[in-house]
Chains A and B, each alone.
Chain A
C-alpha cells in the first residue's frame, strides 16, 4: 500500500520555549502535496496567546478571517496586512488543558499563487472557546519551508507539535 500520510517532524517540549520553529533553516521537504500541522500547546500562564509565521516572513503579508464560539454566543473577526497570523485572538493558552489545533496547508510548494491555510482550534474550559479561521499569506509566491509559532509568554513543558505530509498519489 502506498503511504500517503507521513510524519515530517514531531516535538514534545521538555522545557518552556517562547517560540517553536518547524523546519528550521527552511528544511520542510517540498515533496508532498499538502501539510497538516497538529499541535497541542500549553501556556506558561492562562493569559498567553500565540501567533504563526511561515518562512520567517515578518512583513505585513498576513490576513485572516475567523469565527469563534465561547459557549454562549458566536462572533466573527478578521485582520489584514498583519505581520503574523494571530491564533484565536480572543483566547489564550491554558496551563493544564491543551488546545487541539489542526492547520491545513494545501499545495504548499507551489510558486505561482498565494497560500491559504485553514485552522481549527478548541479548548473546553471556562472562558475559552472554539474557533475556525482561514488565513492568507501574500508574499511573492514561494514554497513553505518553515513554520514558526511564537507565544506571548511561553509554550510550556509538554506542549506537542507534529507536522505531517500528505502525498496525492
Chain B
C-alpha cells in the first residue's frame, strides 16, 4: 500500500492561512522520501474552497465547523483519517494546533511529536527534529506506531512553491457539532505598541533580570540607542516586570529590528519565533550553555547586573 500524508489546513473564516504552505513544504519533503500521496484537509462551512497545487483538498463541511473548537477539529481529523488512512498527519503548531493535535494522536493511538523544527532524511528514513532540555539540545525522534501526528513550528519550513497543476477539491458534508464545548466567543485586546513596532533597537529582558528594580538598567541601556524600545520574554511579562503588549515570542509580538539585545533570556523556541528575523542579535546571559547563544551574533557570558552598567558607562564615555 502506498504511503499517505494528511495535512490539516490552518484556516480563518474559511480562508486557508499562509502557514498551511509551510505544512505542505514539510509534507513535500517527507513525500520525497516515502513517495507519499498528500491530502490536505480543510474543516469549515465552505462552498468555494481554493484548490491547492499538486495535492487533493478534502473539505469537511458542517455548520458546526464554522469556527474553531478543539472538539470539532478533533472529530474532523478523525473522520478524515478514516477516509485517507494516513501514515502521517501534519498540523501547525499554533494555538489551535497544540490544542487538538495531541487529542487526535490519543484518539488514534498513534505516535506524536510536537513543535517540530525540521526533518532529517538518512538512509531512506526520516528523523524529526525538535528542541528539548530548555532548548539546549536538539532531539531527533523516530516515528513509532502509526499514524504519526506531528505539529510543525511556524517558520520552520520555507513555504511550498505552488507551481504544480491545481489539485482536486472534494467536499464531504457532515454533521459534526461540538457536544461538550459551547458559547464560543472571540475577543481581542488592544495589544498595540507603536514604540516597539517601530523600534530599530530592542532591549529585551528575560527571567535573568531577577527583579523589577533591574528594569531600570534595561531602560537605561535602551536610552543609549536611538529609536529604541524595551521588550520582554513571557516570564518577564508574567512577573509583571514588562507589559504584555511588549512581550516578544510565539504568543506575543513578532519583531525584526536592526538590533535585538536579549538580556537574561534563555532562548526557548517560543521566544525565538518572535525575534529570529532581527538583523543583529546580541545576548547577555550568565549561563554559558543558554540556548539563546546559538541564535546570536554576539554572545556575552556575564552577570547582567555587572555587565549592563559597565556597557552604559562605556557608551557615556563616547558620548562626550
* Mutual binders A and B: no
Question: Which residues in B have some Cβ–Cβ distance to A below 8 Å?
Answer: none
